[in-house]
Structure 1
Amino acid sequence: MRDAPLAFVTAMAALGDVTRHDADGEPVYMLNRPDLARYVLKENGTNYTKDRTPDDDMLRPLLGNGLLTSNGAEWAAQRRMCAPAFRPSEVTRFDQVIVEAAEHLARQWRGAASVRVDHDLTALTLTVIVKAMLGTDIGGAGEGFGRAVDAVNRFIGHYVPTDDPDPADTAARYAGFQRARAFLDRVTRVIIAARRTGGAGDDLLSALLAEAHPGGTGHGAPAMTDAELRDQVLTIIMAGHETTAKSLTWTLYLLDRHPEAAAAVRAEIDEVLRGRAPSAADLPALRRCRQAVQEAMRLYPPVWLISRRSVAADVIDGYDIPAGSLVCISPWVLHRDPRFWDEPEAYRPERFDPEAVARHLSHQYLPFGGGPRICLGRHFAMVEATLVLAVLLRDLRMELAEGFPVEPEALVTLRPRHGMTMTPRPR
């Protein structure tokens, strides 16, 4: 599991819909069917917590007790507090923030011999989430933020709960993690301090600051401390940019590898935009752009493994699940199961035509998780990815650098192990 996690979960799924293996002295149950995923994430979700799971162990050292790591009533109060900012009607207000950032990136790429697509898209999505949700422009901190995220992933993505076979490597990664966490903390605190000085605005950070003010809470929780505010803001920043950046990176790679799909996307962009900048009003017509991203998230789901721990004993598909057991679901496996996807290894964006989606089983497609804890920012992510893709491919054709190795690496998110270097060509 540590050496080749994607191969391991794929091999386990070949053994059955419910499998068990032992890891670090405890049993781990893997569920490899959509209805079983639905049962754990939704139907009996109250019996399955994120507390003391690998997800929790990896994320909590950085994010503290924010929306991704909290549980129970505390999580529910945090979710209620953040949810209004991510409603679809609210998200479309930020279309120009997204388009301006994408136009800026397109200008940077135009004429460049080669670009690190993964790094540049990370900087773009970071800029967008901070401006849209926190009302702040982080300026030159974006590049440093991207490097810090890489350092964090290298450490927490290789989380080893027992004795590490290579202590020197772990020590080096931990030192990098500590430096990265300190940098992310500084950026987060500067954002909070700047907004406190500048006054309230119409964004999520203003709502969080109101919660931190004595007597300002209205969501079933006591007023937020400075530490809790830091955890929530950093969670929003990290969750709101990393997965979208990786989804766009994989989309550009797959479109380069599949010229027919790329031609369909470009033809749609030409017909809808006719050379102008897109807006939220164009989203319904940018169907192929949206589907190109959806299919990329099927083949390369940003979150490749979802873990939960059973609160009480349960029975799943006839198998006893003792209390306290670790139960895992892999979107990587579910998204590539030939029982539910025709030619699952092929990149076919038309799978997400409305009539095809209507035939999907519940929890067959889990790029944003499922059940009550489904990603709060999923609408924001799809609006952002669709508009960014439309801007970039309106004027550019992205080609993978000759001989560049592309290999998925399953850390906290599913990333290209060697990054993604591409050459922008004018259309």
Structure 2
Amino acid sequence: MPITESHPHPHAGSASGPEIPGPAGLPVLGSMLDLRRDSLGAFLHAHREHGDVVRLQAGPPGLRSVFHAVFSPQGVQQILASEAANFRKDHPLYEEVRQSFGNGLLTSQDADYLRQRRLVQPLFTKRRVDGYAAAVTTEAGVIAERWRTADDTTVDLVSEMNRFALRTVSRILFGTDVEAAVDVIHRCAPVINDYVVRRAYVPLKVPREWPTPGNRRAREATAEVTAVCDRIIAERRAAVGTVNSGERERGRPRSADDLLSLLAAAGNEEDGSLDATEVREQVLIFLLAGHETTAISLAFTLHLLARHPEEQARVRAEIDRVLAGGTPTAADLDRLPCVTRALKEAMRLYPPAPVVSRRAVAATEIGGFRIPAGADVVVAPWVTHRAPQLWEDPERFDPDRFTPEREAGRHRYAWFPFGGGPRACIGQHFSMLESVLALATLLRAYELEAVDEEVPVSAGITLQATGPARVRLRPRSL
């Protein structure tokens, strides 16, 4: 993530508390170049040198951005949970996401958010999500079979898991219409995401309406994604309306089980229902944000296990014992603790959302420092998950950090890949279910040997692998 734009404001001075420490940076540009080159590394360095609350500034005078990074679990809890109402999604990144994807659950606020959450929450109950397990294992089985018949025994987990996660969420959203959406989104999503991030972190924005090459590419990609979603949504709303009005044909049930049909039918007396635009906005967020977070978690879990054969063997022994050659189901989730611990440890080292932004409404004290009203504030799982005072030998891959006893001994916000508080990820259980079942399916079928030891990453809307995570496949006899 590059720099955060905000209106300049004075930093905390001695009259209102101690001055917030931070890197001086260059005389004219401050920390801009460090943040643009490697924002995750810059945040780690800032924490190591200046502590749990850090003030950063970037950019030339007149266009300078000032923001505050908070790294302690206690500070993270204030921002995301106990004082969440004071830290809003008024950050430029969220505004750009709204402009491109609409005002869905990721970006909406206040009454809009509460209404959407009430309407959508019943679709993400544990019972409902567990019903998606068969779609997950079907798509994981397709991947496993394709690998078995491929000529090349080396695959890039980044691209493979991205495709798998996109196909899975598309199948759950659209049912049998999965193929209509996958190719378009796979091709267009990177264009839209790059555009959103680039616009969010430049001091001066070119109006979206101007016919620049970047604007045109993003507009065409957005129009293509919107068109395919609108077509599928219109067909599904018509089908749901026909079936629910009593015109049942050939024994068809009252409504389909795919998430789109459930969204189209969602409603209650207090909140009404989602109109066509609102349904599309939720679908776009689920598609474009939901699949990327799960894909990155799966890719890095598999790659870390490939780099640590002893942990891979332990995980596979559990899978063989629990599944006994069968297909995993939702009921197996609690019976695969080694798989879950490996996943959680991978999400510690490679959190899908490495930096989370907010804007303070009122001045707030965090960690003994005064955060000014109007300040842009970030919390960074990438940094907190690596804090040596919280995690012994933090760069080491050690799934046993997540045994129940060791989890109980840690602060709730020492590990927060799904955020927390009232804006915690609504799809947390689905992501864990999808990831554990996919890992069990693939590791039952293959042994993995790492080809690339390290995978470079950067921060965008989600964590981005900027290089391959290749592994060599050894099929197992089933």
Q: How far did 1:198 drift?
A: 2.6
Q: Which residue of 2 aligns with 1:423?
A: 472
- Find the aligned partners of 1:93 and 1:282 in 2 and give their Cα distance: 13
Out of 63, 82, 85, the position equivalent to 1:46 is 85
Q: What is the 5 A alignment of 1:24-423?
A: 24-51=63-90, 53-112=91-150, 113=152, 114-139=154-179, 141-159=181-199, 160-163=201-204, 173-199=214-240, 200-210=255-265, 217-220=268-271, 223-401=273-451, 406-423=455-472
Q: Which amino acid aligns with 1:316?
A: I
TM superposition shift of 1:302: 0.2
Q: Which has the larger radius of gyration?
A: 2
- SS of the equivalent of 1:186 reads helix
C-alpha offsets along residues 82-136 of structure 1, whole Å, 9 cap, x if unaligned?
1111112221111111111110110011143133322232222222223324444
Unaligned runs of 5+ in 2: 1-34, 241-254
Secondary structure of the residue aligned to 1:68 is coil
Does the residue aligned with 2:68 lie in a helix, a strand or coil? strand
CA distance in structure 2 between the partners assigned to 1:140 and 1:119 by the alignment: 19
Amino acid at match of 1:381: S
What is the CA–CA distance in structure 2 between the aligned matches of 1:311 and 1:392, rounded to whole Å?
46
Q: Deviation at 1:340?
A: 0.4
> How many Å separate the matches in 1 of 2:472 and 2:149?
9
Q: Secondary structure at the match of 1:424?
A: strand
Cα distance change on mapping 1:372 and 1:237 into 2, 3 Å: same
Equivalent residue number for residue 25 of structure 2: none
Cα distance in 2 between the residues matched to 1:69 and 1:219: 22
Q: Deviations over 1:397-426 (max 9, x none)?
A: 23334x586211212111210243333221
Alignment partners' CA distance in 1, 2:166 and 2:442: 17
Q: Given that residues 111 and 424 in structure 1 are in contact (C-alpha distance below 8 angstroms), is that contact kept between their aligned partners in structure 2? A: no
Provide the identity percentage: 38
Going from structure 1 to structure 2, the CA distance change for 1:106 and 1:12 (only over 3 Å counts) comes to same
With normalisation by structure 2, the TM-score equals 0.82
Report the Cα distance in structure 1 between the residues aligned to 2:354 and 2:78, rounded to whole angstroms.
18
Q: 1:37-79 CA deviation, whole Å, 9 max, x = no partner?
A: 001111111111002x143034223221110000111111111
After alignment, is 345-354 or 107-116 more displaced?
107-116
Separation (CA, whole Å) in 2 of partners of 1:174 and 1:78:
30
Are residue 21 (structure 1) and residue 56 (structure 2) matched? yes
Take 1:155 and 1:257, find their aligned partners in 2: how far apart are those partners? Answer: 34
Residue 256 to residue 192, structure 1, CA distance change in 2 (3 Å): same
Asked if 2 retains the 8 angstrom alpha-carbon contact of 1:250 and 1:300, the reply is: yes
Aligned to 2:38: 4
2:93 and 2:196 in contact (8 A); partners too:
no
Contact persistence 2:181–2:229 (CA under 8 A): no
- Residue 287 of structure 1 and its aligned partner are, at CA, apart by 1.1
CA RMSD of aligned residues (A): 2.2
Partner of 1:320, secondary structure, is strand
Instruction: Judge conservation of contact 2:170–2:181 (CA < 8 Å) in 1.
Output: no
Amino acid at match of 2:160: D
Which stretch has the larger CA shift, 191-200 or 287-296?
A: 191-200
Tell me, yes or no, if the aligned pair for 1:81 and 1:219 is still in contact at 8 Å.
Answer: no
Residues 1:172 and 1:335: Cα distance change in structure 2 (over 3 Å): farther
| Distance apart, 1:172 and its partner CA | 5.0
Shift of 1:223: 4.9
TM-score by length of 1: 0.91
Q: Residue 191 and residue 135 in structure 1: after superposition, are their counterparts in 2 closer, same or farther (change >3 A)? A: same
Cα distance change on mapping 1:361 and 1:296 into 2, 3 Å: same
CA contact 1:103–1:391 (8 Å) conserved in 2: yes
Higher relative contact order (CA 8 A, sep 6+): 1
Rate the CA distance shift 1:69–1:390 in 2: closer, same or farther, 3 A: same
Q: Hey, what's the Cα distance between the residues in 2 that align with 1:373 and 1:247?
A: 20
Distance 1:338 1:278 in 2: 36
The one-letter amino acid of 1:424's match is: L
Structure 1, unpaired ranges of 5+? none
Deviation at 1:202, TM superposition (A): 4.0
CA distance in 1, matches of 2:106, 2:318: 36
Q: CA deviation at 1:343?
A: 1.0
CA distance in 1, matches of 2:396, 2:453: 21
How far apart in 2 are the matches of 1:250 and 1:206? 33
For residues 299-357 of structure 1, the C-alpha deviation after alignment (integer angstroms, 9 at most, x for no partner) is 00000011111112222223222221111100000000010011110001111111111
Q: Number of matched residues?
A: 416
The more displaced of 110-119 and 279-288 is 110-119
What is the DSSP-based 3-state SS (H/G/I as helix, E as strand, rest coil) of the residue aligned with 1:4?
A: helix
Counterpart-to-counterpart distance in 1, 2:293 and 2:368? 35
